[in-house]
């Protein structure tokens, strides 16, 4: 029985080896593994691949990517056919041809290629709009990021679009640029993105149920401001207006940025938004953020914090005492400053949100959620 069993497995093994060898041979033949011998490849074969690349009935993104890879592997010999296709192909195919040419080692772009790239940039910016196509905005963003210098003026113009998604994705791409100098319009659109909108998870009532654009525009906006704090002072006016927003996420994040940026003009309204977030609620991470921002407003907030102590819950009380301790130094309240273990239960990985404000994380959504999701603090045992 053992011998028959081993023989059976041996037979199966060699059959599998034979199948795999055949598959590998066929893949090598069509050029999927390594560049083929282009010297013996007929020109009509190259042209057939290019014709398929620019056809209207191409089977989705994956086939376009595979074809582009196969053609790029042919080397610079395939460039003339691709350049000729640039003059005739439709906008939907042009970007595939440009991407394929960019993927060819040793290819030197000419005037026709540069003109095609300029056309593709304009078309890609238009595809940032909210429409009925899945993933076209993400593909457009990938292309625009590769050509950010050429795309910059087009993206700046898109900041004035009447389409919310297009404005926000244009701002997202501009924030990633290393050379871009933010305009007043850019600051306004970035503050707009602090609101609780369809990014990144979409909405259930979206006409494309289950679709989304995985861009965390609110978190990205906060980090962009904090990386260069002078931007907070430049955006003080739209941030101050956002303090009166009906959107609680936009209101809180605007107050957080004004506090972290030390913007003391109108500080009372900023503090009024931040202080309630010190308490134990169902929003992840907002207490850490509020504490760091209130500290940034300076000693002027101490009277407001002291007045709040009588009606504060245990978490809010602990953080108020901690903020006062840092702002005023040793005080008569020092004996009540919460010990490390108590603070740890409030702040998680951050030992002290005032000292360790650089490690205070911004959640992708700061609105009230279920208690189980928020991971609220647990009151320490007496």
Residue 143 lies in a domain: no
Instruction: Give per-residue pLDDT as tens, 328-339.
Output: 876 555 555 565
| Under 8 Å between Cβ of 362 and 219 | yes
Per-residue pLDDT band at 141 (split at 50, 70, 90) = very high
| Under 8 Å between Cβ of 370 and 337 | no
In angstroms, how far is CA 13 from the centroid of its own chain? 47
Residue 191 has pLDDT above 60, yes or no: yes
pLDDT given at position 16: 57
Alpha carbons 42 and 5: distance in angstroms, whole number: 50
Residue 84 lies in a domain: no
Instruction: Give per-residue pLDDT as tens, 306-320.
Output: 999 999 998 899 899
Residue 98 lies in a domain: no
Residue 259 lies in a domain: yes
Q: Which of 110-114, 159-163, 274-278, 328-332 has the lowest mean pLDDT?
A: 328-332
pLDDT given at position 94: 92
Alpha carbons 351 and 250: distance in angstroms, whole number: 27
Alpha carbons 28 and 320: distance in angstroms, whole number: 68
Residue 219 lies in a domain: yes
Residue 120 lies in a domain: no
Q: How many residues does the chain have?
A: 382
pLDDT given at position 19: 59
Residue 256 lies in a domain: yes
Number of domains in the chain: 1
Ramachandran class of 68: left when φ > 0, alpha when ψ lies in -120 to 50, beta otherwise: alpha
pLDDT given at position 143: 93
In this prediction the pTM is: 0.77
Closest CA to 147 of 167, 172, 117: 117
pLDDT given at position 37: 45
For 268, the domain range is 190-201+210-382
Main-chain phi, psi angles of 209, to 5 degrees: -55, 130
Residue 20 lies in a domain: no
Alpha carbons 72 and 100: distance in angstroms, whole number: 6
């Amino acid at each position: 029985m053992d011998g028959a069993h081993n023989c059976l497995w041996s037979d199966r093994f060699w059959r599998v080896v034979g199948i795999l060898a055949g598959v590998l041979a066929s893949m090598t033949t069509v050029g999927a593994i390594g560049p083929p011998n282009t010297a013996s490849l007929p020109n009509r074969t190259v042209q057939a691949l290019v014709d398929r690349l620019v056809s209207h009935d191409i089977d989705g993104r994956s086939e376009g990517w595979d074809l582009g890879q196969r053609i790029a592997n042919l080397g610079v010999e395939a460039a003339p056919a691709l350049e000729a296709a640039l003059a005739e192909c439709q906008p939907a195919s042009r970007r595939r041809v440009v991407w394929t040419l960019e993927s060819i080692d040793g290819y030197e772009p000419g005037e026709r290629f540069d003109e095609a790239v300029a056309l593709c940039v304009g078309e890609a910016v238009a595809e940032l709009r909210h429409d009925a196509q899945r993933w076209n905005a993400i593909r457009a963003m990938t292309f625009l990021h590769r050509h950010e210098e050429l795309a910059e003026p087009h993206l700046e113009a898109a900041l004035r679009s009447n389409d919310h998604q297009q404005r926000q994705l244009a701002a997202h791409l501009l924030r990633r640029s290393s050379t871009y100098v933010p305009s007043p319009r850019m600051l306004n659109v970035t503050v707009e993105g602090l609101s609780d909108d369809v990014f990144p998870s979409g909405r259930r009532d979206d006409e494309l149920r289950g679709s989304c654009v995985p861009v965390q525009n609110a978190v990205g906006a906060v980090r962009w401001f904090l990386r260069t704090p002078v931007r907070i002072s430049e955006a003080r006016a739209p941030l101050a207006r956002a303090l009166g927003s009906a959107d609680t996420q936009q209101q809180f994040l605007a107050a957080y940025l004004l506090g972290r940026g030390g913007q003391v003009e109108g500080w009372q309204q900023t503090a009024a938004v931040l202080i309630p977030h010190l308490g134990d609620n169902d929003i992840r991470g907002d207490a850490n953020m509020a504490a760091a921002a209130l500290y940034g407003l300076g000693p002027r907030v101490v009277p407001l914090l002291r007045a709040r102590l009588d009606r504060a819950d245990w978490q809010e009380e602990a953080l108020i005492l901690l903020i006062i301790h840092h702002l005023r130094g040793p005080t008569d309240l020092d004996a009540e400053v919460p010990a490390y273990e108590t603070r740890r239960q409030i702040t998680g990985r951050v030992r002290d949100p005032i000292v360790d404000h650089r490690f205070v994380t911004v959640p992708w959504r700061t609105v009230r959620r279920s208690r189980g999701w928020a991971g609220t603090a647990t009151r320490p045992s007496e």
